[in-house]
Amino acid sequence: MAKQHTKEFQVRSLPLVQEAVRIALSSDLSRKQTAADLGIGFSTLSRWIQLHRHRDDVSAPPDVDLECGFVRRTGSSRRRGTS
């Protein structure tokens, strides 16, 4: 089960997440190398980039919190196909 972070942690880590995404998107290095250089997991960096692109391309529905790269669905189950 995914670790639940406090709202304070999410708010305080937002600038770090944004900087990691900026570096990854502007660097000539691969995502794997960028993640290793930043000391974070490849899948974590990829998820942050995906969420960043989703937030920029599409307005998120009101029940999805994309802040800090953490996805939290309110009032619905995390399992696919259930509500």
DSSP readout, 16-77?
HHHHHHHHHHH-SS-HHHHHHHHTS-HHHHHHHHHHHHHHHHSPPPTTEE-GGG--EESSS-
Q: pLDDT category, 42, cuts 50, 70, 90?
A: very high
Against a cut of 0.95, is the pTM above it?
no
Task: Note whether residue 2 is domain-resident.
Answer: no
| Residue 42 lies in domain | 7-73
Total domain count for the chain? 1
Task: Note whether residue 82 is domain-resident.
Answer: no
Task: Note whether residue 80 is domain-resident.
Answer: no
Decide if pLDDT at 21 tops 80: yes
Query: Tokens at residue 20, please?
Result: 């990691």
Task: Note whether residue 50 is domain-resident.
Answer: yes
Q: pLDDT category, 57, cuts 50, 70, 90?
A: low
